[in-house]
């Protein structure tokens, strides 16, 4: 274990490992990443693996578009096949309110240069004849959206960062952040003290708790979200499909399994990871209505993870104004995996050069909450 580091990153999910990778790639080699369990053990390893650029907020569109560019050359740049698949995303509108919002969203997304289009019910049926589209008013489709394997992506970033000089400490818990007179002096872990002046909070579901270690109050809360996976079938579904009104998302993996999940409006904030029987019953009753071929398909596994929510369901990417060099990339509200490459790159630029170079993240700072915010609407 190193006694000293230029940067200590707390959190071994996709955000933390992406930041470590880009820091090393840009020349800062003495980086230490600390993870209390195993890599991708938190929200990253429990997510659906979707990569979406269709958002209602312009900043999320820009971040996601930059991430897609980086995902497209991931294997070449990072050195591992992560089962990245350009299957697109199909978003379904069932109400007049959704139709109005989808028209507005697509216009904004096209202004940003995104290849996205509206589909009529008839066009959607022709493209996806195996779906029950009863009640559908229209859909949107972006062919450059897709999905990948979150575990492989996290491991790829971590291994590449290690090869360049980073130290990855798993099964090591941060117990305190040493702050003296507004300056970070180091990080105390269960394996010893690491002297450093720069700390990055990429702790996902525990971002608020890590912030408090440094005396910084962060406006995030964590909520349990659940997913299950079915037995494999012959490949039939290219895109990840979402309905916000009907509260579901579903995709088919490279091996043929279907992964699907939903949100729960009654779920209180917590760090619970235990899956519930209620979720299993609701999903197995609901999904065959929209995808009739699922009726006799068996569920193999069911699990839960955390959405680390911000007040406006957009990430908080910032640096503390109360102490020196305490950065945070948190509050991704269920979408950290798909935004991670762009965020990792931007955070590395900010730490090394003083500002992000490829994408403007200025309106994702904490100060926005005191000015009034526009909430991201495309969230399940």
The 10s digit of each residue's pLDDT in 227-281 is 999 999 999 999 999 999 999 999 999 999 999 999 888 899 999 989 999 999 9
Residue 372: per-residue pLDDT = 77
Angle at which helices 336-353 and 14-25 pack, to 10 degrees? 40
Same domain as 105, residue 34: no
Last residue of a domain, one of 307, 334, 356: 307
Supply the pLDDT for residue 216.
Answer: 97
Q: For residues 295 and 242, state if they share a domain.
A: yes
DSSP tag of 152: H
- In this model, does residue 377 exceed pLDDT 90? no
**pLDDT grade, residue 374 (50/70/90)?**
confident
For the chain, the average pLDDT equals: 96
Question: Which tens digits make up the pLDDT trace of 87-121?
Answer: 999 999 999 999 999 999 999 999 999 999 999 99
pLDDT at 380: 86
pLDDT at 375 over 90: no
The stretch 206-223 carries a mean pLDDT of 98
128-140 average pLDDT score: 98
325: closest CA among 9, 2, 22? 9
Strands (E), the chain: 7-10, 31-34, 50-51, 89-93, 117-120, 138-142, 146-147, 167-169, 174-180, 183-189, 192-195, 199-201, 221-230, 240-243, 248-252, 258-262, 299-309, 316-319, 326-330
Across the chain, which distance is largest between two alpha carbons, in Å? 65
Is 2 within the bounds of a domain? Answer: no
Count of the separate structural domains present in the chain: 2
- The CA–CA distances, whole Å, from 290 to 215, 226, 277, 297, 311 equal 48, 19, 21, 14, 31
At 135, which CATH number? 3.30.9.10
Residue 31 belongs to what domain range? 7-48+150-220+312-370
CB 316 within 8 A of CB 330: yes
pLDDT in tens, 185-195: 999 999 999 99
Sorted by sequence, the CB contacts under 8 Å of residue 92 that are 6+ apart come out as 124, 133, 136, 139, 241, 242, 243, 246
């Amino acid at each position: 274990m190193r006694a000293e580091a230029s940067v200590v990153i707390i959190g071994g999910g996709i955000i933390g490992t992406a930041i470590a990778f880009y820091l090393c790639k840009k020349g800062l080699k003495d980086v230490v990443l600390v993870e209390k369990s195993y890599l991708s053990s938190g929200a990253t390893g429990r997510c659906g693996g979707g990569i979406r650029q269709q958002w209602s907020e312009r900043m999320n569109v820009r971040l996601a578009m930059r991430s897609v560019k980086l995902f497209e050359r991931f294997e070449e740049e990072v050195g591992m096949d992560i089962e990245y698949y350009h299957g697109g995303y199909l978003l379904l509108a069932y109400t007049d309110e959704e139709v109005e919002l989808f028209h507005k969203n697509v216009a904004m997304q096209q202004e940003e240069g995104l290849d996205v289009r509206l589909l009529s019910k008839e066009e959607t049926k022709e493209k996806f004849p195996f779906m029950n589209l009863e009640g559908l008013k229209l859909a949107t489709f972006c062919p450059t959206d897709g999905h990948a394997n979150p575990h492989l992506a996290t491991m790829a970033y971590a291994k590449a960062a290690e090869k360049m000089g980073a130290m990855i400490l798993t099964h090591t818990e941060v117990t305190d952040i040493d702050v003296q007179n507004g300056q970070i002096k180091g990080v105390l872990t269960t394996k010893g003290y690491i002297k450093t002046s720069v700390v990055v909070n990429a702790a996902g579901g525990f971002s608020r708790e890590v912030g408090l270690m440094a005396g910084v109050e962060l406006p995030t809360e964590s909520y349990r979200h659940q997913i299950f996976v079915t037995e494999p079938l012959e490949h039939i579904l290219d895109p990840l499909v979402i309905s916000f009104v009907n509260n579901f998302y579903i995709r088919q993996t490279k091996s043929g399994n279907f992964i699907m999940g939903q949100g729960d409006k009654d779920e209180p904030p917590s760090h619970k990871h235990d899956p519930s029987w209620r979720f299993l019953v609701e999903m197995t009753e609901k999904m065959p209505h929209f995808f009739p071929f699922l009726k006799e398909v068996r569920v193999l596994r069911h699990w839960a993870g955390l959405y680390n929510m911000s007040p406006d369901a957009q990430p908080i990417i910032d640096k503390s104004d109360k102490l020196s060099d305490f950065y945070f990339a948190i509050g991704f509200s269920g979408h950290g995996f798909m935004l991670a490459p762009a965020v990792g790159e931007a955070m590395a630029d900010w730490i090394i050069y003083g500002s992000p170079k490829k994408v403007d993240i200025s309106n994702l700072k904490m100060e926005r909450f005191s000015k009034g915010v526009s909430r991201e609407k495309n969230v399940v």
